[in-house]
């Protein structure tokens, strides 16, 4: 799992000017539903409250240790309301693309997000994902990240029109490192990022994938 479920408490990687350009340059992206072999990847809905919080509760111990979804003192319902607002704001502004992966039985397996979308000197975004702990080891994360990356790197209006997708991964997060390697993410030479995790700043490696390096069919 890549424990970067949202963009809070993170210093910029690509540099301030890109973020400023992106803030002035919203791009409307059609709301599409992605379908993989086992998942439907779609926007979070108000009716998802129970299923989403079940997924969070199934992963709470690991999430709290690696990168808490909850703000300090935040209840589960407040968390869901904030995540729903973030998803809607991302679509409205074009600054993020935040989705959940859902099985055919309605179980939400996790989230697949593209945050910090910049359309300025560079067209890029940050890939972030998490899959519930009790469904790990089944290739669902790889399946979802592959679909997300392919969509992000596809030209508008079929995709997000990005030229690159980056991911910040803790060196100890072996599962996410394997997913990144399997899908063609490669390290950005000499580039690291400080991410605030559980109250402390941790150094993460920065990986990048482009339409030319993305490996499809890995899931």
Q: What is the pLDDT of residues 157-213, one digit of tens each?
A: 999 999 999 999 999 889 999 999 999 999 998 899 998 887 789 899 999 999 999
Which structural domain, as residue segments, surrounds residue 20?
16-209
Buried b (16+ CB within 10 A) or exposed e, 167-201: bbbbeebeebbebbeebbbeeeeeeebebebeeee
Domain containing 49 — which CATH number?
3.40.630.30
Q: Is residue 49 part of a domain?
A: yes
Q: How many domains does the chain have?
A: 1
Per-residue pLDDT reduced to its tens digit, 78-137: 999 999 999 999 999 999 999 999 999 999 999 999 999 999 989 999 999 999 999 999
In a domain, 2, yes or no: no
pTM (predicted TM-score): 0.85
Residue 61 lies in a domain: yes
Domain assignment present for residue 137? The answer is yes
């Amino acid at each position: 799992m890549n424990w970067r479920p949202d963009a809070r408490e993170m210093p910029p990687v690509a540099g301030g000017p890109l973020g400023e350009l992106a803030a002035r340059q919203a791009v409307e992206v059609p709301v599409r539903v992605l379908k993989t072999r086992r998942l439907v990847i779609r926007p979070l809905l108000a009716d998802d409250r129970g299923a989403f919080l079940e997924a969070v509760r199934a992963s709470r111990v690991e999430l709290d240790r690696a990168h808490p979804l909850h703000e300090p003192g935040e209840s589960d319902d407040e968390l869901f309301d904030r995540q729903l607002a973030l998803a809607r704001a991302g679509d409205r502004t074009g600054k993020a693309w935040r989705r959940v992966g859902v099985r055919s039985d309605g179980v939400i397996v996790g989230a697949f997000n593209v945050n910090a979308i910049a359309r300025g000197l560079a067209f890029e975004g940050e890939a972030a994902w998490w899959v519930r702990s009790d469904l790990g080891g089944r290739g669902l994360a790889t399946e979802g990240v592959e679909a997300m990356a392919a969509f992000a790197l596809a030209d508008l209006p079929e995709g997000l029109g990005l030229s690159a997708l980056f991911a910040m991964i803790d060196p100890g997060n072996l599962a996410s490192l394997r997913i990144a390697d399997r899908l063609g993410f490669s390290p950005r030479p000499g580039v690291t990022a400080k991410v605030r995790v559980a109250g402390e700043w941790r150094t993460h490696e920065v990986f990048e994938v482009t339409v030319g390096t993305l490996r499809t069919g890995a899931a």
